[in-house]
Every structure is written in C-alpha cells, then in structure tokens.
C-alpha cells in the first residue's frame, strides 16, 4: 500500500527485509507467502525481476539509514502488516521489529500507533470478508 514511495534499490532491499522477517518466526505459512507476493506485485518485482539474495539484516538496514522518515515509516508499516498477517506475532519477529524500530529511529509511541492501526485495518478487512461471505 505504501511501497510506491520507494526507489528501485529501496524496493529490492525492502523485499529482502520482508523475506528475512517472514522466515525468522516460528511459522512461515500461507498468509506470509501471500503478503510477500502482494509486495512483489505492488512493486513490480516478480521472481523474474528480482531474486532474493538472502542479505543480512544489518546490510539491509544500512540502505535505509539516511532515508527520509516517510520512507522508513512506509517500510515499517508494511513490515508490521506482514508480522501481524497470521495473528502470531512471535518472539523472534518482535526481536527483529525492535531492531528495525531502533535503527529507523521510530519511537515506542509511533510503533504502538502503527500496530494499533494495522490491527484495526485487519479487523475492518475481516468484517468486509464476512459481509461478502454472508450475502
């Protein structure tokens, strides 16, 4: 949703970060895979356009260090959506998000605001799905 503000290098590194985050948790299931494909679609980076290199977290985060806060928050919001998509925000995911939050200079208050907003948005989408199912 917010990835259009990224340039090509940032998009590729966001994808690296998203894959790293999705695979760091205890479960990697269909919701995460679906979101990763949605990210690729939004950024026009299918498997033919970009192959995951398996970069290290520190290497990826260095790309975003000098970016505007708008870029950092856009990336952060999408990553929060990724970790919450399966309703299991586990310890490893929290650790990685904490590192990203710190490196991006995002306050605890802003982090909570993002998590609350993404959670609310997920609930709204679920309600929309219920409406469609119960026609």
Q: Is 99 helix (H, G, I), strand (E, B) or coil?
A: helix
Task: Of 64, 73, 60, give the one whose Cα is nearest residue 2.
Answer: 73
Say what the pTM is.
0.90
Could you tell me which residue, 131 or 113, shows the higher pLDDT?
113
Q: What are phi and psi of 117, to 5 degrees?
A: -65, -45
CB neighbour list of residue 95: distance below 8 Å, 6 or more residues apart: 24
CA angle (120, 86, 36) in 5-degree steps: 100
Measured distance CA(60)–CA(17) in Å, rounded: 7
pLDDT 10s digits, 103-119? 999 999 999 999 999 99
Could you tell me which residue, 126 or 43, shows the higher pLDDT?
43
Q: Is 51 helix (H, G, I), strand (E, B) or coil?
A: coil
Measured distance CA(91)–CA(84) in Å, rounded: 12
């Amino acid at each position: 949703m917010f990835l259009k503000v990224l340039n090509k290098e940032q998009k590729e590194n966001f994808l690296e970060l998203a894959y790293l985050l999705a695979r760091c948790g205890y479960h990697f299931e269909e919701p995460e895979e679906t979101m990763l494909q949605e990210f690729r679609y939004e950024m026009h980076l299918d498997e033919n356009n970009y192959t995951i290199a398996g970069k290290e977290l520190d290497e990826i985060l260095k790309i975003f260090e000098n970016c505007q806060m708008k870029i950092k928050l856009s990336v952060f919001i999408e990553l929060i959506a990724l970790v919450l998509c399966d309703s299991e925000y586990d310890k490893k995911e929290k650790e990685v998000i904490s590192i990203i939050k710190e490196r991006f200079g995002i306050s605890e208050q802003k982090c909570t605001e993002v998590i609350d907003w993404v959670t609310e948005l997920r609930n709204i989408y679920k309600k929309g799905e219920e409406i469609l199912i119960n026609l």
